[in-house]
Amino acid sequence: MKTSLLATLALFITLTNSQVLVAADAEHGRTLYRAYCAQCHGVEGDGFGVNSPDMEVAPKDHTETAEMQTRNDADLFKAIKDGGKAVDKSALMPNWDANLNDDEIHALVAYLRILSKTGSQ
Ligand code: HEC
C-alpha cells in the first residue's frame, strides 16, 4: 500500500500539471467505461462486448486508431451525451445525458483517446 502510494506520487511529480490532470481524467474515464460502456464496446474497447453478437449495428471499435482520428473531441462528446442519432449514427448507441454529467463525459473522451492511441483534438 505504502509502496504503491509512493510510486503514484513519484509518477505525479515527474509529470507536468496538465499531464496529471489528463491522466487522472482518463483513469476516471476507464472506470466509467467499464461500468457503462463495456457491455457493448467490450472491456478492451474493441467492440466485442457481451451484447454485441445480438446487435444489428456493431458497437464502435474504440481501438481503431485511423478511424478514431477522424472524430474530434466534440464529436465524441456529443455521441456520448446525446446518443448515436445525434451524430447520424445508430440509435443503438444510447444517450447518456440523464446518467452522466459533463465532467464524466469529458473523462470518457479522455479515456477514448488513450484506447484509440489518438491525441485530444
Ligand atoms: C447498448 C449498447 C451500447 C452501449 C451501452 C454503449 N454504446 Fe457506444 N455505440 C453503440 C453502437 C451500436 C455504436 C455504433 C453506432 C453506429 O456506428 O452507427 C456506438 C457508437 C459509439 C460512439 C460513436 C463512434 C463514432 O463512430 O463516432 C461513441 C463515441 C461511443 N459509442 C461511446 C460510448 C461510451 C463512452 C459508452 C458508455 C458511456 C457507450 N458508447 C455505451 C452501442 C453502445
Cell triple for 59: 458497437
Reported for 13-22, long-range contacts at CB under 8 A and 24+ positions apart, including other chains, are 22/110, 22/120
**Cβ proximity of 111 and 26 under 8 Å:** yes
Share of the chain above pLDDT 70, in %: 91
* Cα–Cα distance measured from residue 16 to residue 104, given in angstroms and rounded to the nearest whole number: 22
CA 28 to centroid of ligand 1, rounded, Å:
18
Query: Tens of pLDDT along 38-86?
Result: 999 999 999 999 999 999 999 999 999 999 999 999 999 999 999 999 9
pLDDT tens digits, one per residue of 19-44 = 777 788 899 999 999 999 999 999 99
Q: How far is the CA of 19 from the centre of ligand 1 (A)?
A: 27
What is the residue whose three cell numbers read 445525434? 86
Choosing from 33, 39, 41, 109 the residue with most ligand 1 atoms within 8 A of its CB, the one to mutate for a pocket test is 41
